[in-house]
Amino acid sequence: MADKIVEVHDGGGSGAVTAIAVVLLVVVLLAVLYFAGAFNRMFGPRETKIDVNIKKPSAVLIVRS
């Protein structure tokens, strides 16, 4: 009877490298969205009202010591 050669491959850690690559890709994507301001538009306030009412003082008080 002929002998059979059986080879066993455990993947060589390619699954771990793929998982790390996917995690880094997700982190980069989230960073790009964050710095582009996408999260501010989604979760931020819808309307921002700024009341700019600057009044010039009528008198200036000078204190000498």
Q: What pLDDT score does 2 carry?
A: 67
Least Cα distance to 33 among 47, 48, 43 occurs for: 43
Q: How far apart are the first and last CA of the chain?
A: 113
What confidence category does residue 64 fall into, taking pLDDT thresholds of 50, 70 and 90? confident
Phi-psi region of 48 (alpha: psi -120 to 50; beta: other; left: phi over 0): beta
The model carries a pTM of: 0.49
CA 37 – CA 21 distance, rounded (Å): 25
Total domains in the fold of the chain = 1
Could you say which DSSP state residue 58 is in? S
Residue with tokens 């994507």: 29
pLDDT 10s digits, 1-40? 568 888 877 666 678 888 999 999 999 999 999 888 887 7
Domain containing residue 9: 1-65
Query: Does 53 have pLDDT greater than 80?
Result: yes
Query: Does 62 have pLDDT greater than 80?
Result: yes
